Amino acid sequence: MSHGLISVAEAERRIRAAVRPLPGERRPLHLAQGAVLRQAVVAERDQPPFDRVTMDGIAIARAGWERGVRRYRSVGVQGAGAPALEVNADDECVEIMTGAMLPTGAGCVIPIERVRLEAGRAAIEEDYRLDPGGHVHPRGSDYRAGETLLKPGTLIRAPEMAVLASAGQPEVEVARRPAVAVISVGDELVAPGLDLAPYQIRLSNDRAIEAALNQRGLATVTRLTLPDEVEILKREIARAHEANDLLILSGGVSMGKYDYVPEILSALGIELVLHKVAQRPGKPMWFGISAAAKPVFALPGNPVSTLVCLVRHVIPAIYGSMGAKMPELPMVALTQQVEFAPPLTWFLPVKVSWSGAGIGLAKPRPTNTSGDFASLTGSDGFVELEAEHEVFPAGYAARLYRW
């Protein structure tokens, strides 16, 4: 490990230990997709709530069938959403529809395709053999009333949404999407649409950060650009800290004369958790926690560094602040050998394809420098290559972080 640097694993551990989950909020179901549950959800009723007919057909008593009865008299028609009719005799049947409650006294259903039904008389095809399940989905066979169906921390996608609705909940307690201020720091930065001088630079990191967060539905983002001026930085960072749950600064954390961000964050009472990580890109990264327990990330401004640090360190912390687990990170195999001698974790951009056998193949897409953000277009993310090794042969399995 290089002098004075902490490892990526240690940075991850410190960030995880420092970040506290935000309080939740109640949302109507139609606004809850993509959110993270902050409550358990228990079953309102047994599922199915009654013996549920799974085919259109006739419902009969099993005893009659076993005694050889093959002709039945219809005593009524019952659809889904209607109370149960009754089968009282061996030769009685109810004409029954999918989703209906099994009639009282009936034990099974014979599909309509196997029945000749005429003038209230039902005859069963000669070669029909009774289905042992009887085309009935028994009450409580999926789950029982009071059973826990969803745990806190679960991401609400389509299947979870169906379970929420079926549990009878019109609203649900979910993690609040954190309000995140994205603060770009640098005298040279000019937003798209404004004129710029030859010595100025287009502001782009804020848009990249915003896109990565929005694409995951992770945050409500406010963007702010500040010059390299101590008093303005102090005032505006303090304001942004008041108004937001988490701050992401980019630029001004390195060792230059105008890199004021670390000292300003300390002056604002933000407690340093880590500064400088044994990683490339992104070595100067700074992270602290305010007295109000709000996480503050200060990322190096070089665009590749900013984006890599965001995906590797900030996004997992935001999941943590929502009380959610990070989506699982796949392992992918390098398509060719790469070498990296410095004792740093190397985040190598890659393009991923899938082999016929379903193995993710990561083709290295190195950038010229950590300022070369244009070459990231078309890449899928980066792989994490451990500081302990220098040679990573073709086929080496590495963890993939997607943009």
Range in contact with ligand AMP (rule: CB under 6 A) among 28-36, 58-66, 245-253, 349-357: 245-253
**Sign of the CA dihedral running 57, 60, 66, 70:** negative
Distance, in Å, from the CA atom of 271 to the CA atom of 41, rounded to the nearest integer, reads 37
The binder of 349, among Mg ion, ligand AMP, none, by C-beta within 5 to 8 A per type, is none
Number of residue whose CB is nearest ligand AMP: 301
Distance, in Å, from the CA atom of 226 to the CA atom of 298, rounded to the nearest integer, reads 13
Selected binder of ligand AMP within 24, 57, 300, 320 (CB under 6 A):
300
Range in contact with ligand AMP (rule: CB under 6 A) among 40-48, 70-78, 105-113, 295-303: 295-303
Selected binder of Mg ion within 107, 134, 251, 281 (CB under 5 A):
251
CB of 278 to Mg ion, least distance (A): 22
Pairing state between β 246-250 and 295-299? parallel
The binder of 184, among Mg ion, ligand AMP, none, by C-beta within 5 to 8 A per type, is ligand AMP
Site membership for ligand AMP, residue 206 (CB under 6 A): yes
Site membership for ligand AMP, residue 204 (CB under 6 A): yes
Distance, in Å, from the CA atom of 190 to the CA atom of 182, rounded to the nearest integer, reads 15
CB of 53 or CB of 209, closer to ligand AMP: 209
Range in contact with ligand AMP (rule: CB under 6 A) among 1-9, 98-106, 127-135, 250-258: 250-258
Site membership for ligand AMP, residue 251 (CB under 6 A): yes
Range in contact with ligand AMP (rule: CB under 6 A) among 59-67, 172-180, 204-212, 311-319: 204-212
CB of 57 or CB of 301, closer to Mg ion: 301
Selected binder of ligand AMP within 24, 103, 282, 301 (CB under 6 A):
301
Task: Please state, as a whole number, how many other Cβ atoms lie within 10 Å of the Cβ of residue 363.
Answer: 15
Q: Which two tokens stand for residue 218?
A: 């992770």
Site membership for ligand AMP, residue 375 (CB under 6 A): no
In 3D space, the residue among 319, 27, 325, 330 whose CA is nearest the CA of residue 154 turns out to be: 325
- Residue identified by tokens 């997709």 is 33
User: What is the secondary structure of 48-84 as a DSSP string?
Assistant: SSS-EE-SSEEEE-HHHHHTT--EEEEEEEE-TTS--
CA distances (Å), 118 to each of 60, 74, 88, in order?
17, 10, 21
Q: Which two tokens stand for residue 215?
A: 């694409």
Alpha carbon 158 to chain centroid, angstroms: 12
**Sign of the CA dihedral running 82, 84, 86, 90:** positive
Pairing state between β 397-402 and 381-385? antiparallel
Site membership for Mg ion, residue 186 (CB under 5 A): yes
CB of 90 or CB of 372, closer to ligand AMP: 372
Site membership for Mg ion, residue 281 (CB under 5 A): no
Range in contact with Mg ion (rule: CB under 5 A) among 182-190, 204-212, 282-290, 356-364: 182-190
* Count of residues in contact with ligand AMP, rule CB under 6 A: 19
Q: Which one-letter amino acid corresponds to residue 389?
A: H
In 3D space, the residue among 87, 66, 90, 65 whose CA is nearest the CA of residue 78 turns out to be: 87
Selected binder of ligand AMP within 189, 218, 240, 289 (CB under 6 A):
189
CA angle at residue 358 from 353 to 360, to 5 degrees? 40
Site membership for Mg ion, residue 364 (CB under 5 A): no
Distance, in Å, from the CA atom of 327 to the CA atom of 221, rounded to the nearest integer, reads 21
Q: Which one-letter amino acid corresponds to residue 294?
A: K
Range in contact with ligand AMP (rule: CB under 6 A) among 6-14, 74-82, 164-172, 252-260: 252-260
CB of 252 or CB of 295, closer to ligand AMP: 252
Site membership for ligand AMP, residue 186 (CB under 6 A): yes
CB of 27 or CB of 223, closer to ligand AMP: 223
Q: Which two tokens stand for residue 80?
A: 């889904």
**Residues at the interface with ligand AMP (CB under 6 A):** 184, 186, 188-189, 201, 203-206, 250-252, 254, 256, 300-303, 371
**Residues at the interface with Mg ion (CB under 5 A):** 186, 251-252
